[in-house]
Amino acid sequence: MKPIKISMLSLFLVVGLVLHTVESLEAQLKISVIRYEIWVELDDQRKMLYGRENISWLNTTQDEVQDMWFHLFYNAFKNERSTLLQESREELLGALGIKIEDGEWGWIDVTSIKLADGRDLRPTAEFVTRDKPVHPDDQTVMCVEFPEPVKPGEEVHLLLEFKSKIPKGILRTGYYQDSYFIAQWFPKPGVYEEGKGWNCHEYHLNSEFYADFADFTVHITVPENFVVGASGKQVGELRDSDTNAVTYTFYQDNIHDFAWTADSDFIKVERDFIAEDEISRKEYEEAARKLQLPVENIKLKDMKMILLIEPEHRSQIERHFKALKMAVKYYGLWYGPYPYETITMVDPPFRTKSGGMEYPTFFTAGTAILRSKEVLSPEGVIIHEFGHGYWYGLCANNEFEEAWLDEGINSYSTGKVAGKAYGKGALPFTFRRMPLAWFLKLPKYYDDEFDRAVAIHVVELDPITTHSWKFYNRGSYALNVYMRASTCLHTLERLVGEDTMLRILRTFQMYFRYKHPRTEDFIQVVNEVSGQDLTWFFEELFFKTLNFDYGICSLTSSEKDKHVRGFFDINGEKEEFTQEKVEKIKAEEKKSGKREIYVTEVTVRRFGEAKLGGDVLMKLRVVFEDGSEEIVNWDGQKRWEKFTFKKPAKAKFAQIDPDKIWLIDSNLSNNSLKRKSSKGGIFRLTSGILFLIQNFLQCISSFS
Amino acid sequence: MSVFRLLIQGIKTTNSKGRIVLYLWITNFVFSLVIVAPFYFLLSKEFSRSLIGNKLGAGFDLLWLGDLFYKFNNIPPALIGWFLVPGILFLLLYMFLNGGIIGRIVAQRESVNFSNFFGDCGKYFLCFFRIFLISLIGYALVFGVIYRYISELFELWTDNASTEWPLIISSNIKFLILILLFSIIRMFFDYARVSVVVEDSRRAIRATILSLSFVGKRFFKAWFLYLLVGIISLIFFAVCLRISRILPSSGLLIIVVFLWHQIYILSRMWTKMLFFSSEYHFFYQEKISLY
């Protein structure tokens, strides 16, 4: 377990974080530690990239920095000894998911690395493998030594040359035929952390992002028939008639990664997001009221939306833009305005395996030719990937070490935005690539319901805050980091209230924009904005593997034993009360209209290991047959507690957590207990299963 | 006689032997009840006293469904066995019942009663079992060899596809081919069974050869007739889906849903009989014309 302590200093820091000032802090906090200028040429025939890269790195720490570490992620696809492929092999999923055939490998060679004054650093270059377990032959992290340390406040300039073999579509990068999606492709320094050194992990199966904010100028040269899209804004286009090539120049400041795509088939469509047209005055006012901010502070800016879409998906252009507008609108209104001028949405080229991935100001969606309107795809993925721009993009967490800060928060916020914009979506089942929603009335659901249904299965496998490559397996990573974290955040929302949760996320977003927040930072924001110390919530649900399950284990209602049998001393005499006498007394009381009193006993239990903390209490509601109800609170610390009620009616049912705050509760069916059983629902479900079995048997009989 | 007239004759025969449909439905229902009973008791134990129990099956709610999966997530391996064993038993049972179905269809002028139906079942069971074993060779040939080669042919096309279209088209064509191949194999062995009963034979191999020869000579007419009945069953399926979409699933109306489901199962039994009766009329008519 990671200890979480809130220091007084940090508390003061957050106390000073009044929401009004948070909004105005944004401009001051923009600091790019790095400047890149990259020239890259695509060799379509050989599937190669040839690049030059100028890097200026500013030492913003108080350390004297002796070396520099780079990510060389294309080497993850170089051979079967890379960390990524070794991890993949250890996974059951590896055999199914990641397989590189002969001739499909990818790699990157840094052919030259020099300081601006010409001193060659190449001889000092070596590959580094520090993550445990060690994969000594991995070549995805390279380190070079400086001849003399870079002093605090000093800037170092490096000139690199590299060439890369593009892998055939794998893990969101690569080529298929003459379509390219190019991500994690250039030598990229890690993050220098004061007192700790370079944070520069290998390319792991579950994670790939952590870099400093930078200003990028990238010149991409491709054959002239290619349509290109990339992070940032296109600022130049130069045609070379001798080589039939075009060089596109893109620029963007304050981002920490750069990806691009090129495909001759892309249709490029541009639309403007005009905030005034998309958001009404009433919507601004409602959001401002919830956020407790002036309307002026939450106004969104206009921006350019670019879509690169494959021709066979042309009919879905409007679906793509509508979803993107919804995402820009609600993420902007709720969590803060989108700060960049452009967003480029890519319908990933066929078989480049690049769908559903986020990069700064640039993301891939993913659709199919045959789609039902009832299924929120591609809408869900568009909202999700755009949303990453907020959590991974702007509050740039260390994805290797705390992936939930992006994936978990973004799964939560995707569910909120998609639910608001579209309501429930149908299950995305297909048959022979045809949506079953065309033929069947498929069930519909909200994301949070789905997240909870799967999250409860992995609670005891790993803490949510586990390092990405240290999870039990890929399933545990995905379900914990996405779904369980999201479910915990939905629980938190129900605990603190929807408006407070909104303010928590906006504060976190605006305060940590262009920074690298940690889990502890998020907890501080939660505590400060909610006005409660909810550290225990995170300790129980994020840092441990404790199952949360409160329930009711017994409910009885019986007549109060006013009249009992046996000998009693009455006026100095022993008097015997027989069964007959007791019955007689009762009959007389009934005749005189005296109401029977019933004793109801409810035993509540904490079935799971996780328990409540702080001032939070578990509510118990008991409903009686005369329509009355009693509500009591339990601190939930002990394993069980018995509550007794004396009422003129028997209990009908008892219910723990009647407001359904604890979505993370792994067993909601034991949250209530009726005194008498009823079988209506069970008959309904069983008859449905019966029908399925009848059909199954008839199908089997076809072979007779 | 035209295929449509054969179909109408088949329908008339099927309707006149309605009691068989009832026997088949009872068999299916009782068998299914046995399989479903443990689920009922499990669900009762877990949900009958929970408020969530009231919602079970009333629409789709991931909260109770999530609980269901969570509680019973260790059951799936056992479920496979639980479905497989009754499935095999039901297959054997239907080999037994087929004798009764075809026997009573062939006995055109006789009414159906318990004893003559089950008498025919017993009479042809062993022969039908042998035909089933022979049919396995046919299915293995179709699914294991022919379909595999067809799939590989399609892969040559889809491996280098530039868009998703070839995958959609090939996937659906492959499925259609699979269905058609399955229908041909099934049709062949249906005629083998019909010929066994018509000729009151017990010789499975001879019946199979006879069926191959008979169907081989009249393949398209026989197949067309078979596919027509297949289309009728597809129509029933589509109607069932359509009506199920609009039926409510709450309150007492669940009884209506239950009854509707059983009507659909009855329609499946009826169609099963129609396959045999139309095949019988075709077989009989062609035999007569030979003499």
Q: What is the pLDDT of residue B63?
A: 83
Q: pLDDT tens, A155-172?
A: 999 999 999 999 999 988
Tokens of A155: 């800037």
Whether residue A13 is predicted with pLDDT greater than 80 in this model: the reply is no
Q: Quick check: pTM over 0.95? A: no
Q: If you write DSSP's letter for every residue of A525-563 in order, what string do you get?
A: HHHHHHTS--HHHHHHHTSS-----EEEEEEEEEE---S
What residues in B contact A437, CB-CB < 8 Å?
A: none
Mean pLDDT of the A398-425 span: 97
Higher pLDDT, B287 or B6: B6
Question: Is A644's Cβ below 8 Å from some Cβ in B?
Answer: no
A residues 457-486 lying closer than 8 A (beta carbon) to B:
457
* CB-based contact A691 B261, cutoff 8 Å: yes
Average pLDDT along chain B? 92
Tell me the average pLDDT across A212-223.
97
Q: What is the token pair recorded at A533? A: 């110390």
pLDDT > 70 fraction of chain B, expressed in percent and rounded: 98
CB contact under 8 A, A677 and B167: no
Q: Is A369 on the interface with B (CB under 8 A)?
A: yes
Average pLDDT of span B23-40: 94
Q: Is the pLDDT of residue B64 over 90?
A: no
Q: Name the pLDDT band for B57 (thresholds 50, 70, 90).
A: confident
Distance between CA atoms of residues A525 and B81, nearest Å: 52
- Of A29 and A486, the structure prediction assigns the larger pLDDT to A486
Contact yes or no for A682 and B60 at CB 8 A: no
Q: Is the pLDDT of residue A2 over 60?
A: no
What would the mean pLDDT of B91-97 be, rounded to a whole number?
95
**Rounded Cα–Cα distance for residues A612 and A638 (Å):** 10
What are phi and psi for residue A137, nearest 5 degrees? Answer: -95, 5
Exposure string of A58-85, with b = 16+ CB inside 10 Å and e = fewer, is: bbebebebebbbbbbbbbbbbeeebbbb
Instruction: Please say if the pLDDT value at position A568 is more than 80.
Output: yes
Cβ contacts of residue A69 below 8 Å, gap of 6+?
A128, A141, A142, A143, A189, A190, A198, A200
Please give the C-alpha separations between residue B232 and each of A694, A699, B221, B235, B279, in angstroms, as whole numbers: 19, 16, 17, 5, 15
Q: Give the separation between CA A479 and CA A664, rounded to whole angstroms.
A: 13
> In this complex, which of A265, A449, A672 lies closest to B51 when CB atoms are compared?
A672
Which chain A residues have a beta carbon less than 8 Å from that of B73?
457
Distance (Å, rounded) from C-alpha A565 to C-alpha A572? Answer: 18
- Note whether A655 contacts B: Cβ–Cβ < 8 A: yes
Single out the residue of A421, A409, A415 nearest to residue A445, CA to CA: A415
Largest CA distance in chain A: 124
Q: Would you list the DSSP string of A225-256?
A: T-EEEESSEEEEEEEETTTTEEEEEEEEEEES
Which pLDDT does position B95 carry in this prediction?
95
Question: Which pLDDT belongs to residue A18?
Answer: 43
Which A residues in the span 69-108 are in contact with B, Cβ-Cβ below 8 Å? none
Instruction: Pick the range with the lowest mean pLDDT from A16-25, A257-266, A298-307.
Output: A16-25
Two structure tokens written together for A117: 């004054």
pLDDT of residue B66: 87
Average confidence (pLDDT) over B111-122: 94
CB contact under 8 A, B66 and A683: no
Q: Residue A469: helix, strand or coil by DSSP?
A: helix
With residue B130 as reference, give the H or E element that holds it. helix B114-139
Burial code (b: 16+ CB inside 10 Å, e: under 16) for A516-543 equals: bbbbbbbbbbbbbbbebebbbbbbbbbb
Say whether pLDDT at B219 is over 60. Answer: yes
Counting DSSP H helices and E strands in chain A, the numbers are 17, 35
Contacts of A452 in chain B (CB under 8 A): 62-63, 66
Taking CB atoms and an 8 Å cutoff, what residues of chain B touch A666?
Answer: 70
Taking alpha carbons only, the member of A258, A238, A236, A240 closest to residue A249 is A236
Residues 146-185 of A with CB under 8 A from B: 177
In this predicted structure, what is the pLDDT of residue B78? 84
Q: Do A449 and B86 touch (CB under 8 A)?
A: no
> From the list B56, B94, B95, which residue is nearest A684 (CB)?
B56
**Residue B91 near residue A703 (C-beta atoms within 8 A):** yes
pLDDT classification of A4: cutoffs 50, 70, 90: very low
Do B191 and B285 contact (CB within 8 A), yes or no? no
State mean pLDDT over A264-272: 97
Mean pLDDT across A484-494: 98
- Residue A92: which pLDDT band, with cuts at 50, 70 and 90? low
Least confident span in A15-19, A134-138, A582-586, B82-86: A15-19
Measured CA to CA, the distance from residue A659 to residue A494 in angstroms comes to: 9
- Angle at the Cα of B253 (from B251 to B259), degrees rounded to 5? 140
- Whether A391 and A411 have beta carbons less than 8 Å apart is answered as no
Please say if the pLDDT value at position A94 is more than 60: no
DSSP string computed for A690-703: HHHHHHHHHHHHTT
Whether the per-residue pLDDT at B82 is higher than 60: the answer is yes
Identify the band that residue B290 occupies on the pLDDT scale cut at 50, 70 and 90. low
Partners of residue A454 in chain B, C-beta under 8 Å: 66
Select from A369, A444, A454 the Cβ nearest to the Cβ of B60: A444
Q: How far is A633 from chain B (nearest CA, A)?
A: 20
DSSP B58: S
In DSSP notation, A424-459 reads: -EE---EETTEEGGGTS---EE-HHHHHHHHHTTST
For A150, half-sphere exposure in the C-beta direction (CA atoms, 13 angstrom radius) is 22
Tell me how close the Cα of B214 comes to any Cα of chain A, in angstroms: 20
For the cut 50, the answer to whether the pLDDT of residue A104 exceeds it is yes
Q: Looking at the predicted structure, is the pLDDT value of residue A16 above 50?
A: no
Q: Note the pLDDT of residue A73.
A: 96
Please name which of A645, A647, A649 lies closest in space to residue A626, comparing C-alpha atoms: A649
Å from A227 to nearest chain B CA? 16
Residues from chain A that touch B98, judged by Cβ atoms under 8 A, are 704
- Residue A27's pLDDT is 45
Angle CA A675–A677–A683, to nearest 5: 160
SS3 content of chain B, % helix, strand, coil (to 5): 85, 0, 15
Interface touch B268/A369, C-beta < 8 Å: no
Residue A30 clears pLDDT 80, i.e. is over it: no
pLDDT band at B261 (very low <50, low <70, confident <90, very high): very high
Q: What is the mean pLDDT of residues B215-241?
A: 95
pLDDT of residue B291: 58
Q: What does each C-alpha distance from A635 to A53, A467, A655 come to in angstroms?
A: 60, 33, 15
- The answer to whether the CB atoms of B132 and A695 lie below 8 A apart is no
Q: Which two tokens stand for residue A223?
A: 């054959």
Work out the percent of chain A whose per-residue pLDDT is above 90.
Answer: 86
Q: What percent of chain A has pLDDT over 70?
A: 95
pLDDT band at A6 (very low <50, low <70, confident <90, very high): very low
Report which residue type is found at A547.
N
Shortest CA distance from A437: residue in chain B: B245
Q: Name the 3-class secondary structure at B175.
A: helix
Per-residue pLDDT averaged across A388-407, rounded?
A: 97
Decide: helix, strand or coil at residue A319.
Answer: helix
A89 — pLDDT class (breaks 50, 70, 90): confident
pLDDT value of residue A11: 41
Binned at pLDDT 50, 70 and 90, residue A93 comes out as: low
Instruction: Assess contact for B14 and B267: CB atoms under 8 A.
Output: no
For A358, the token pair is 């986020």
Rounded Cα distance between B281 and A661, Å, is: 67
> Does the CA dihedral A444-A447-A452-A455 come out positive or negative?
positive
- Residues in chain B within 8 Å Cβ distance of A311: 163
